[in-house]
Amino acid sequence: MKKIMNKPKDFVQETLEGIQFAYSDKLKFLDKDRRILVSAFPEKKGKVGIVTAGGSGHLPVFLGYVGKGMLDACVVGNVFASPSASKMAEAIRACDFGAGVLCLYGNYGGDHLNFSMAMEDVAFDEIDTIAIQVKDDVASSADPEKRRGVAGMVFAFKIAGAAAERMYSLTEVAAVTQKALDSIRSIGFALSPCILPEVGTPGFTIPEGKMELGMGIHGEPGISVIDQMDADTLAGTLLQKLLEDMPLQAGDTAAVMVNGLGATSLEELFILYRAVHRRLEDLGVSVYMPHIGEFATSMEMAGASLTLMKLDEELKGLMAAEAVTPFYTAANK
Amino acid sequence: MKKIMNKPKDFVQETLEGIQFAYSDKLKFLDKDRRILVSAFPEKKGKVGIVTAGGSGHLPVFLGYVGKGMLDACVVGNVFASPSASKMAEAIRACDFGAGVLCLYGNYGGDHLNFSMAMEDVAFDEIDTIAIQVKDDVASSADPEKRRGVAGMVFAFKIAGAAAERMYSLTEVAAVTQKALDSIRSIGFALSPCILPEVGTPGFTIPEGKMELGMGIHGEPGISVIDQMDADTLAGTLLQKLLEDMPLQAGDTAAVMVNGLGATSLEELFILYRAVHRRLEDLGVSVYMPHIGEFATSMEMAGASLTLMKLDEELKGLMAAEAVTPFYTAANK
C-alpha cells in the first residue's frame, strides 16, 4: 500500500492533528476526543450556525470548509463512516449563536440517522434546527430524493455560509440553500480505485482501458463500466447526463466545478474543463466562478466529477461573498 | 494509460487553454502560439518584472503563479521540456515596465541555456535583466551550485513578486530573492512513477513496499531506493537531510511546505505535516505560514516533498504580502 501514514488506526486522528497544527487561526477542536472542528473566528451573535458531518477520506470535504463564510463546525467520522449522533449534538450546541442551526450534509443513511437523533436531542435545549441533505449525484438514482451527495455540497456550503453571514434567519438560510441544491447536479467517473488504510487492498478494480461512469465517492457502483474515452467525448457525456436532469438554455449562468478525486493531475482536470467550457459556451451558457481542483476526493482514487449550479442573482452574490477557510478562500468582490 | 486527455500531442496546449478559460481575470496569452502567459492585472509602471519558464507537467508550477504579487509572465514548454529562447525573450520584453526584469527559474540545463540566450537578445533593447536559478533540492547534488530546482521555487516566486510589488529596484529584488533561496532547502520522495502523455508507459517503476528518496520532479534518480517507512520516521529522515544542510536552532522561524507530487492524498500530506510540525516544535523552531497541498507536481506521481525556508523579518513580511494568482492567494495581513 503506497500510503504515507503511521498506524492505520491513527489515520484520521493524525490527519486532523496535522490540519489543526496548520490552520489553528481558522479552526480548532471543540471536544477532548478531537473529532469536532469549529471555526476559530469570533462568534457572531444572532448568526445562523452551519454544521456538517461525515466520514473521513474526502479532503477537503468536509472539515476543510470550516472557518468564516462557510461552515461553523464539522464532525468527523472514521474513513467512509458517519460520526456519532452525540458528537453531532455537541457541534450543534456549540454553533447556536441565538438564531438556530442548519444541519447540511450528504444524503447517506448513517449521517441522516445520526443527525436526526442529534436534532431531537438538542430540541430539549430549545435549539431550532433544520436539516438539509445534499442529493446532487444524478448517477446514483433516477429518483432525486434517493440520490447521494457528492462534490456539489461544496457549493451548498458556500451558499449557506454566505447567507448566514448576511444574517438571514434560519428559515431564510434553509430556503436559499435548498434553492441552490435544486439547481445543483453532479456526476463523476473513476479510473482507478482507492485503498482504505485499515484494509490495505483496493475494494474493487477497474481494468486498463476502462472507466466507471457514475461511481460514488466511496466506490459505490456507477451506471456502467465503459471504455475509456477522450476528454472531449467524456465532457460531452457528463454534460449530457447533467443537462438531461437540469436543462440549461442560452442566457443562463452556471457555476462549474471540475473536481479531481485524488490521483488525477491538474493538467487533466483543465483539459476536461476546457471541453466543458466550450460546450457550455456553444449552448450560450455563461460560466461564473469556475472551480477546478480537488474539492471532494476519495483519497487516491483517479477520476473526476463535474458539477453545475444554475445561478440567479441572489446565488451569484452569495457565491462571490467572502470566505476564509483552510481550503477555500474567496475575496469579497 | 489512465489519463483524461485527447491527443497526447495536444496535452499541453489544451491544458493551457483550460487554464485561460478558467482564469481570464488573472492571466492571458501574450503570443499567437499561446505558450506565454502574462498577468491580466494592470501594469504597474516602474515595477520590476518577474519572469519564469519551464516544462509542463508540474502544475501549479510554473504558470499557476502568474497574476498579482508573484510572477508577471511564464513561458511554457512541452511536458518536462524547456521552452525556446525566443519565447523567453518575448516574455521578458513584455514584462519590462521600466525597471528591468528578474528571470527566476529552476537550475536545469535547457532552461538556463535558453534564458541566457534570451537575456543576451533583450540586452540589444537595453532591457536590464538579472538571472537567478533555484537550486533547492539537497538530494540532487552535494554541490549547492549543481542542485536542481524543485518546490522551493514557489517560495522564491512569492518573495520576488512581493518585493517587486513594493517597488524594490531590480538589484534589490534580486538580492532579497537570492537571500530567500540561500535559506530554502527541499527534498522529495516518490512512491510511484508518472507517465508522459506522449509515451504512454512509466519511465521507471518503484516496487511495492519501496520508495525512492530524493527523486527529482522529472523522475531523476534519487539518493537511494529504500523500504517504505512510516510517516513519522519519514518526516524525521527528510528533516534530517534538510537540517544537515541548513541548521536551524531554537528561536528560528521557518516557512514549511509539504508538497504533494500528484497522486498522494491530502490526508497523507497532513499526516506528514503533523510529524514535521512536532519535530520542529521540539527543536524550538516556529512554523510560519505552513503550505500543505499540491504546489509543484509530477503529474500523477505519488509522493511528496518537504521544503523549509528560514525567515528573517523582511522575508516574513514578503511572505505575508498580498498575492492573487490562479493557484496561490494570500490576503494582505
Q: Give the confidence band of A130 by pLDDT, cuts at 50, 70, 90.
A: very high
pLDDT surpassing 70 at residue B48: yes
Average pLDDT over residues A220-240: 95
Give A27-95 as a DSSP string.
EEE-STTS-EEEE-SPP-TTPPEEEEEEEESSTTTTGGGBSBSSBSEEEEEEET----HHHHHHHHHHT
- Cα B150 to the center of its chain, rounded Å: 6
Whether chain A has a CB inside 8 Å of the CB on B317: the answer is no
Residue in A4, A231, A331 nearest the CB of B271: A4
Q: ipTM, 2 decimals?
A: 0.97
pLDDT surpassing 90 at residue A245: yes
Average pLDDT over residues B293-321: 97
Angle, CA of B234, B240 and B242, to the nearest 5°: 105
The cell numbers describing A296, all together, are 471532494
Predicted pLDDT of residue A222? 87
Whether chain A has a CB inside 8 Å of the CB on B231: the answer is yes
Q: Give the confidence band of A195 by pLDDT, cuts at 50, 70, 90.
A: very high
pLDDT surpassing 70 at residue B304: yes
Q: What is the mean pLDDT of chain A?
A: 96
Q: Which of A101-110, B114-123, B212-221 has the lowest mean pLDDT?
A: B212-221
Average pLDDT over residues B89-108: 98
Average pLDDT over residues B278-283: 98
- Within 8 A of A238 by CB-CB distance, chain B residues are none
The CATH number of A8-182, from 1.10.3210.10, 3.30.70.20, 3.40.50.300, 3.40.50.10440, is 3.40.50.10440
Predicted pLDDT of residue B111? 97
Predicted pLDDT of residue A327? 94
Note the pLDDT tens digit of each residue in B144-199.
999 999 999 999 999 999 999 999 999 999 999 999 999 999 999 999 999 999 99
Predicted pLDDT of residue A203? 84
Work out whether strand A224-227 and strand A184-192 pair parallel, antiparallel, or are unpaired.
unpaired
Q: Give the confidence band of B330 by pLDDT, cuts at 50, 70, 90.
A: confident
Q: Give the dihedral sign, CA A127/A130/A131/A136.
A: negative
Average pLDDT over residues A311-315: 98
Predicted pLDDT of residue B248? 98
Distance CA B23, CA B16 (A): 10
Q: Give the confidence band of B332 by pLDDT, cuts at 50, 70, 90.
A: low
Chain A, chain B: beta-carbon pairs less than 8 Å apart: 164
Q: What is the mean pLDDT of chain B?
A: 96
Q: Do B231 and A4 touch (CB under 8 A)?
A: yes
Residue in A57, A232, A269 nearest the CB of B6: A232
Q: Give the confidence band of A330 by pLDDT, cuts at 50, 70, 90.
A: confident
Helix axes A152-165, A313-320, angle to 10 degrees: 90
Predicted pLDDT of residue A55? 96
Residue B295 is classified by DSSP as S
pLDDT surpassing 90 at residue A184: yes
Mutate: best of A2, A4, A37, A329, partner B, most B CBs <10 A: A4
Predicted pLDDT of residue B45? 98
The residues, ordered by sequence, that sit 6+ positions from A55 with a Cβ below 8 Å of its Cβ are A77, A78, A79, A80, A81, A82, A83, A218
> A7 to chain B, minimum CA–CA distance in Å?
8
Note the pLDDT tens digit of each residue in A168-180.
999 999 999 999 9
> A208 to chain B, minimum CA–CA distance in Å?
7
The residues, ordered by sequence, that sit 6+ positions from A169 with a Cβ below 8 Å of its Cβ are A48, A99
Domain with CATH 3.40.50.10440 in chain B: 8-182
Strand, helix or coil for residue B297: coil
Residue B150 is classified by DSSP as -
Q: Do A267 and B228 touch (CB under 8 A)?
A: no
Domain with CATH 3.30.1180.20 in chain B: 184-311
Residue in B7, B270, B331 nearest the CB of A18: B270
Note the pLDDT tens digit of each residue in A17-71.
999 999 999 999 999 999 999 999 999 999 999 999 999 999 999 999 999 999 9
Average pLDDT over residues A233-241: 98
Residue in B266, B268, B300 nearest the CB of A264: B300
> A115 to chain B, minimum CA–CA distance in Å?
25
Q: Give the confidence band of A332 by pLDDT, cuts at 50, 70, 90.
A: low
Predicted pLDDT of residue A24? 96
Domain with CATH 3.30.1180.20 in chain A: 184-312
Helices (H), strands (E): how many in chain A? Answer: 8, 14
Predicted pLDDT of residue B173? 98
CATH 3.40.50.720 assigned to domain B184-311? The reply is no
Mutate: best of A267, A306, A333, partner B, most B CBs <10 A: A267
> A291 to chain B, minimum CA–CA distance in Å?
8
The cell numbers describing A37, all together, are 472542528
Residue in A59, A269, A302 nearest the CB of B266: A59
Length of chain B in terms of residues written: 333
Q: Give the confidence band of A331 by pLDDT, cuts at 50, 70, 90.
A: confident
Distance CA A166, CA A186 (A): 27
Residue B249 is classified by DSSP as -
Nearest CA to A150 out of A296, A4, A299 is that of A296
Whether chain A has a CB inside 8 Å of the CB on B27: the answer is no
pLDDT surpassing 80 at residue A333: no
Q: Is A218 annotated as catalytic?
A: yes
Q: Do A18 and B300 touch (CB under 8 A)?
A: no
More confident residue, B219 or B44: B44
Mutate: best of A12, A24, A265, A274, partner B, most B CBs <10 A: A265
Query: A184-312 in CATH: which number?
Result: 3.30.1180.20
